[in-house]
Amino acid sequence: MNQTLSHLPKITLIRVEAPFSGILGVMPAKNEDEVVRRAPLFTAIDDASAASLRASMSGIKISKGQILFKEGDPGDRLFVVVEGKLKLGTTSNDGRENLLSILGPGDMFGELSLFDPGPRTATATAVVDSRLLALANDQVIGWVTAHPDVSLQLLKRLSQRLRRANDVLSDLVFADVPGRVAKAIIELGERFGTKKDDGLHVNHELTQEELAQLVGASRETVNKALADFASRGWVKLEPRAVLIINYERLAQRAK
């Protein structure tokens, strides 16, 4: 039976006991299982336990541009991305936006509320049509109690988030905008890139404004950096995508 979140009237939660289909099509069961098992919540448990845990989760379909939760909302569950991309961002008092991260298949988020039951610290928005799995906090606590290794994986995930936050802060202080842009492209390529004969195709699905928010700079400055990279033959710019032609030179600029 379908349920709808009260504060998100167009996002539907569905009890999922098998790979689900719909507007996004059908992902083969084996491939979907492999994606889900990459999430920290699943890596420390055996196949039987993973199947049982997944059966207790709710499936969510969210359309491009829809908000899953807003900054300040109560944090009552964590999520695993099955398919698609989401962005996590914050908004300042004067309306400026900053992107914290881009999430893709196998990524888990929302786990901070397990250890600090306060409001959400960011807004989660679908970059493209996406599918997720959700698990309520009380259910997660039960799994952590029954499977202590899961808690270690969750702590590892939180440590990685802290390390990344430190890296981002360091880059904002010490790196120039072209260096931050190069690093962002490299990181997006490592996560979402597809190797082809002419280079690494990165379909990041971000607008120019969103890419600027990700590196903490103005759109004009980011566009200037991208144009410079293209003129040097390092990249080829495409709508909401980039082809990395000279990975080594771009990686050097990112340092």
Comma-separated ranges of CATH 2.60.120.10 domains in the chain = 3-172
Task: Give 10-residue mean pLDDT values along the chain (255 residues).
Answer: 43 44 45 86 84 90 96 92 96 88 94 81 96 91 81 81 83 89 96 94 95 95 97 96 97 93
- Cα separation, 192 vs 204, in Å, equals 7
CATH of domain 3-172: 2.60.120.10
Instruction: Render 214-243 in DSSP notation, one character per residue.
Output: HHTS-HHHHHHHHHHHHHTTSEEEETTEEE
Predicted pLDDT at 52: 87
pLDDT of residue 2: 38
Domain with CATH 1.10.10.10 in the chain: 176-254
Residue 208 has what pLDDT? 92
| Element holding 203 (H helix, E strand) | none
pLDDT at site 171: 82
What pLDDT does 165 receive? Answer: 82
Strands 86-91 and 67-69: unpaired
Strand ranges, E, within 94-188: 97-103, 108-109, 123-126, 130-136
Distance CA 252, CA 248 (A): 6
User: Tell me, what's the pLDDT at 9?
Assistant: 40
Its pTM stands at 0.82
pLDDT of residue 217: 94
CATH topology of domain 176-254: Arc Repressor Mutant, subunit A (1.10.10)
